[in-house]
Amino acid sequence: MRLTFRTRYLLYMVAVHAVLVALTFQLLKENKPLFIASEMLLVASIYGAIRIYRTFRQPAEFIQSGIEAIREKDFTVKFVPTGNVEVDELIRVYNLMIDQLRQERTRQAEQQFFLDKLVEAAPMAILIFDFDGRLSAVNPKARQLLHVTDDTLLTKPLSATNHPLLVQLSNLPPDQPMTLKGPGAETYRALLGQFIDQGFRRQFLFIEELTAEIIETEKKAYGKVIRMMAHEVNNSIGAVNSILTVTEGDLPDSELRDAVRVAIDRNDRLNRFMRRFADVVRLPTPNPAPADITELVRNVARLMQPQADGRRISLQVTIPDEPVVWSIDMGQLEQVLVNVVKNALEACGPGHTVELVVTGRQLVVRNDGPAIPDTVSANLFDPFFSTKADGQGIGLTLTREILLNHGLTFWLRSDPDGWTRFVIRLA
């Protein structure tokens, strides 16, 4: 066992003075005055040795006390000068170091507090990972944007969260912004960043929703075009139809009258076609009022039942016995349901099923027809996008506008279980 400096010094001093005591006793035991004087000198020597030992130990004791204070992260402990030049210099250096450590700790604590507040108040979703790539923290905006709780995210990598958006971002390369679409009308911009913590690399993920800005830009663009087209078409059709109507009555030839009638009917259809586009732009602000969603679903099912029967499709309704009351514009949401059920019926063939399901906070229209291709699903809610040969994409555009104006969350996607679901959910 290796002895400390303190133990070795004490053993040495004990041995030296023990030898001196023994020699003094042997040599001077007959001469009592000299023996007593020698013993007094030995006592003085022992006292001096103790003083020297304490002087040697004082810096070590200061160092030990300082180490304990630093270990306990107590940076308020400072020492006062002792009058010993060497020890006072050590105390001065220690006190200076403690002051600097305390200032640095205070600065870091203030920066950490500011950073925590900044992350909490950030208007974009922020997700922070630990050293192993698992989620360790999320801010309130992330919970709101992703509609999740901490329990469903923390301690998991992105690929294991089972959240469609996060799974898409699980292979996002660092420092390369990406814009992507969700299963509804949402558009997001994401960035995976990196920082150094305790000498090791960690990552964080920014997710910003661009939906409102993009939709507003789109509405301004297509609204201006539609208003201009509607103005020109209506003016032209009105004048042309007036002339054709007058001409129709003056024509003696029945074939010519029939041709003019065909032209008038075609103009009327074109006029109705343009009004459908204009309806998207002129969509009124909803007037929400408490309404029973179950009754609305039953009414829409009765309305669409003849179409389902004609296509030999089973149209089913699953609703609770008690009323489910939402604050909605009944007329507008009814138009949404009619559009969604009509699209579901058109997507299915004979023998398939379309089902309307209502729960407390959710309304689902689902069908077991062919899945929506990935190349199509990303564009479903783009203005006037349609996969039908004769479609104008007005139905889903109008649906998107109504649901957004109501503040409802919605998405349309094909799930692995074989069902395609249009989900409308209270925010």
59: pLDDT strictly greater than 80? no
Residue 327's pLDDT is what?
93
In a domain, 409, yes or no: yes
The bridge status of strand 187-197 relative to strand 314-318 is unpaired
In percent, the amount of the chain with pLDDT more than 90 equals 15
- Evaluate whether residue 114 is within a structural domain: no
**In the prediction, which pLDDT does 391 show?**
60
Domain membership flag for residue 115: no
Of 125, 187, 186, which Cα lies nearest the Cα of 158? 125
pLDDT at residue 250 is higher than 70: no
Question: Domain boundary at 77, 108, 139, which?
Answer: 108
Same domain, 219 and 297: no
Counted domains in the chain: 4
Domain shared by 421 and 308, yes or no: yes
Other CB atoms within a 10 A radius of the CB of residue 155 amount to: 12
The more confidently predicted of residues 356 and 53 is 356
Overall average pLDDT of the 282-305 stretch? 88
Whether residue 395 sits in one domain with residue 322: yes
Query: Looking up tokens 């003094």, which residue turns up?
Result: 24
**Which residue among 108, 142, 176 closes a domain?**
108
Residues 56 and 135 in one domain: no
The 10s digit of each residue's pLDDT in 224-242 is 666 666 666 666 777 777 7
- Tokens 């790539």: give the residue: 133
Mean pLDDT for the chain overall = 80
Do 20 and 143 reside in the same domain of the chain? Answer: no
Question: Do residues 264 and 245 make contact, with C-beta atoms less than 8 angstroms apart?
Answer: yes
- Calpha distance 326→14 (Å, rounded): 93
Please check whether residues 339 and 400 belong to one and the same domain.
Answer: yes
Helix residue spans in 122-210 (DSSP H): 140-146, 164-168
Q: Is there a single domain that holds both residue 191 and residue 205?
A: yes
Shared-domain flag, residues 94 and 190 = no
Of 243, 259, 281, the one marking the end of a domain is: 281
Tell whether the model's pLDDT for residue 419 goes beyond 80: yes
Which CATH number do you get for residue 398? Answer: 3.30.565.10
Residue 268: inside a domain? yes
**How far is residue 82's CA from residue 92's CA, in Å, rounded to a whole number?**
11
Whether residue 271 is contained in a domain is answered as yes
- H or E segment at 289? strand 289-292
Does the residue 63 lie in any domain?
yes
324 and 255 housed in the same domain: no
pTM for this one? 0.56
Clarify whether residues 66 and 81 are in a common domain. yes
Residues 159 and 236 in one domain: no
Range of the domain at 102: 5-108
147: domain CATH number is: 3.30.450.20
Q: Are residues 44 and 164 in the same domain?
A: no
Burial classification of residue 306, based on how many CB atoms lie within 10 Å of its CB (0-12 exposed, 13-18 middle, 19 or more buried): exposed
